[in-house]
């Protein structure tokens, strides 16, 4: 079974600075997808960024980028120019390639605080 580990229960960063959230995972599959979701106090999970394991290029979405290290099974999220609205719980998640189970496997989450 796949597992996802987020070793940082809480992180904080000054507004406008850069922060990196860590995620590692364990799988025997060669093809899969990785995601970062954001959960603000409203509880609604919002997709931040996705990465296909077969792509070597790291995904980027505006101020959000990932550092995907397939051999190390590491998938960190970098948030640049942090904004107050980035404060939330961040979850790393894994999903198998289409032939496998389509459920998301989540890490325990990292609570990100932005200091003004």
Partner 1 sequence: GAGVSQSPSNKVTEKGKDVELRCDPISGHTALYWYRQSLGQGLEFLIYFQGNSAPDKSGLPSDRFSAERTGGSVSTLTIQRTQQEDSAVYLCASSLRGGGSTDTQYFGPGTRLTVL
Q: Is position 33 an interface residue for partner 1 (rule: CB under 8 A)? A: yes
Nearer to partner 1 by C-beta: 43 or 85? Answer: 43
DSSP type of residue 86: G
Nearest CA to 19 out of 51, 50, 61, 65 is that of 65
Nearer to partner 1 by C-beta: 8 or 52? Answer: 52
Q: Is position 41 an interface residue for partner 1 (rule: CB under 8 A)? A: no
Q: How far apart are CA 68 and CA 44, in angstroms?
A: 25
The residues binding partner 1 (CB under 8 A) are 33, 37, 42-47, 50, 52, 91, 98, 101-109
């Amino acid at each position: 079974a796949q597992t996802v580990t987020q070793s940082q229960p809480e992180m904080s960063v000054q507004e406008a600075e850069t922060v990196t959230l860590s995620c590692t995972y364990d799988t025997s599959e060669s093809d899969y997808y990785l995601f970062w979701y954001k959960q603000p106090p409203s509880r609604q999970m919002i997709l931040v960024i996705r990465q296909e394991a077969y792509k070597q290029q790291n995904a980027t979405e505006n101020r959000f980028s990932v550092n995907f290290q397939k051999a190390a099974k590491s998938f960190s999220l970098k948030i640049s120019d942090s904004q107050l609205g980035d404060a939330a719980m961040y979850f790393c998640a894994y999903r198998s390639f289409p032939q496998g189970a389509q459920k998301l496997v989540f890490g325990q989450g990292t609570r990100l605080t932005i200091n003004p």
